[in-house]
């Protein structure tokens, strides 16, 4: 206001003084304006606020937001001995091949999704986080049809989780971002556009994919299992393949497919033998602009926990415990580390009205299989016990074994070359003195991470080693 008064009342001064007064007032005005501008540019803390940075694009912000949920995967594969040695010797093999890939953290407790081919037939998996911390990982589940695998690390602290988007509203020409371990260069960022959606791809006679996202964002060896993001930093796909010999042709599994498969892999029934009695489907509404996810109950297991809680077909699961849910994966995440009998508060929406119910988790009733039948079904072998002295004469460190009496030629054991008369003395890292020892290994909760399953046999007075492929 003082500036206004000075500038609007200067004509009252004598005429000869006007030029000097004008100059004084002009200098005063400029000084006051500078001081006022400086004050406006000060933040509450008293430090100068930086001006808008035109280089800070949505891509920069998306990468900064999500890079902590992207991990580097290093693996080691054991290469079999050269042809002519059907069963390699017991001497530890030095023939190891390093592999690399990328993973996406989908739960703060260390659950990671990647491609199945990244961890196929590996003996060691090491995961490196964005902050440089490194952990051993184990494979919890695989799905070869969709080429996805679920890993677990024990980080001892909550980890950042990738925000989920949807691929249902992807537009051809839309900008997308890929982050991955390209040729071992961790957290490499590339950009491109969506070139096509719902693309069926056949890579060779053994590998084909359905309904993939095609992108021209550069994807290289090591990017497999890494995220494809939209401009908002939401996950829209899992990078899976490139067209060999082509330029700018890469493919990603839609995030909606990943969420469905990951929910099955992480399900309470599969991981902890608990059941909630719900069969749900993910629904995505894109009519309101930003996609809105919801979890719709499609079927209720008769007599199950959900039926006892009064949940009905068509209900929408809104909240489990203190967590809001919008997809089946988030439901299963909320039930991790629960026990049979736990009472879990659940909020459902029915006919537009929210109401609370209580879900009491139930244990899945299981029959105890006969060990001999389990071993036959899983590996294709039948045994008779042998005297421990038979194998201790071959190697004094061995305490016993099982003589092979029958082999299913189409089984993992048959394909690995095990024959009648061989004596099985070890599986993975355990001795096999009794049939229960074998059953323990082939029914182990972490069996998927053992594949290929190493075995030791005595044949012709010598100990040999081999591998059983895809025991499940």
Residues annotated as catalytic (active site), given as ranges:
117, 147, 224
Q: Whole-angstrom Cα distance, residue 299 to residue 185?
A: 46
- The residues, ordered by sequence, that sit 6+ positions from 211 with a Cβ below 8 Å of its Cβ are 198, 199, 200, 254, 257
Question: Angle between the 328-335 and 255-265 helix axes, to the nearest 10 degrees?
Answer: 30
CA distances from 161 to 44, 105, 381, 430 (A): 32, 5, 43, 36
- The residues, ordered by sequence, that sit 6+ positions from 370 with a Cβ below 8 Å of its Cβ are none
Stated as kind and residue range, the H or E segment containing 467 is: strand 462-468
**Of residues 255, 383, 251, 419, the one with CA closest to residue 327:** 255
Coil, strand or helix: which one is 295? Answer: strand
Note the Cα 380 to chain centre separation in Å.
Answer: 32
**Of residues 173, 182, 230, the one with CA closest to residue 72:** 182
User: For residues 233-244, b (16+ Cβ closer than 10 Å) or e, as one string?
Assistant: bbbbbbbbbbee
Q: What single DSSP character describes residue 261?
A: H
């Amino acid at each position: 206001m003082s500036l206004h008064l000075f500038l609007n009342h200067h004509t009252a001064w004598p005429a000869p003084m006007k030029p000097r007064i004008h100059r004084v007032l002009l200098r005063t005005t400029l000084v006051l304006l500078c001081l006022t501008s400086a004050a406006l540019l000060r933040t509450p803390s008293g430090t100068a606020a930086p001006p808008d940075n035109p280089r800070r694009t949505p891509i920069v912000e998306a990468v900064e937001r999500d890079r902590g949920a992207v991990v580097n995967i290093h693996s080691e594969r054991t290469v079999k001995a050269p042809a002519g040695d059907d069963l390699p010797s017991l001497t530890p093999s030095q023939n190891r091949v390093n592999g690399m890939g990328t993973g996406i953290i989908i739960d703060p407790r260390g659950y990671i999704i990647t491609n199945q081919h990244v961890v196929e037939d590996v003996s060691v998996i090491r995961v490196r986080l964005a902050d440089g911390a490194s952990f051993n990982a184990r494979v919890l589940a695989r799905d070869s049809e969709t080429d996805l695998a679920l890993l677990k690390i024990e980080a001892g602290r909550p980890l950042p989780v990738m925000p989920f988007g949807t691929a249902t509203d992807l537009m051809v020409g839309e900008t997308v971002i890929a982050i991955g371990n390209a040729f071992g260069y961790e957290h490499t960022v590339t950009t491109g556009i969506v070139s096509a959606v719902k693309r069926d791809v056949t890579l060779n006679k053994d590998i084909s994919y359905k309904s993939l996202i095609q992108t021209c964002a550069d994807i290289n060896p090591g990017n497999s299992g890494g995220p494809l993001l939209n401009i908002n930093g939401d996950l829209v796909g899992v990078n899976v393949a490139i067209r060999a010999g082509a330029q700018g042709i890469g493919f990603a599994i839609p995030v909606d497919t990943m969420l469905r498969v990951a929910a099955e892999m992480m399900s309470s029934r599969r991981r902890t033998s608990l059941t909630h009695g719900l069969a749900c489907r993910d629904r995505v509404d894109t009519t309101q602009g930003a996609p809105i996810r919801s979890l719709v109950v499609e079927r209720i297991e008769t007599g199950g926990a959900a039926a006892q809680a009064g949940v009905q077909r068509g209900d929408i699961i809104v909240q489990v415990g203190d967590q809001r849910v919008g997809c089946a994966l988030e439901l299963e995440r909320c039930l991790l580390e629960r026990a049979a009998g736990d009472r879990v508060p659940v909020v459902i929406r029915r006919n537009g009205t929210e109401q609370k119910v209580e879900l009491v988790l139930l244990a899945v009733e299981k029959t105890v299989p006969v060990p001999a039948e389990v071993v036959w079904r899983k590996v294709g072998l039948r045994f008779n016990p042998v005297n421990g002295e038979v194998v201790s004469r071959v190697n004094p460190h061995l305490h016993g074994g099982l003589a092979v009496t029958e082999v299913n030629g189409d089984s993992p054991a048959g394909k690995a070359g095990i024959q009648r008369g061989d004596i099985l003395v070890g599986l993975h890292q355990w001795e096999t003195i009794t049939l229960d020892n074998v059953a323990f290994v082939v029914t182990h909760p972490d069996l998927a991470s053992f594949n290929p399953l190493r075995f030791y046999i005595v044949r012709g007075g010598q100990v040999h080693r081999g591998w059983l492929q895809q025991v499940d």
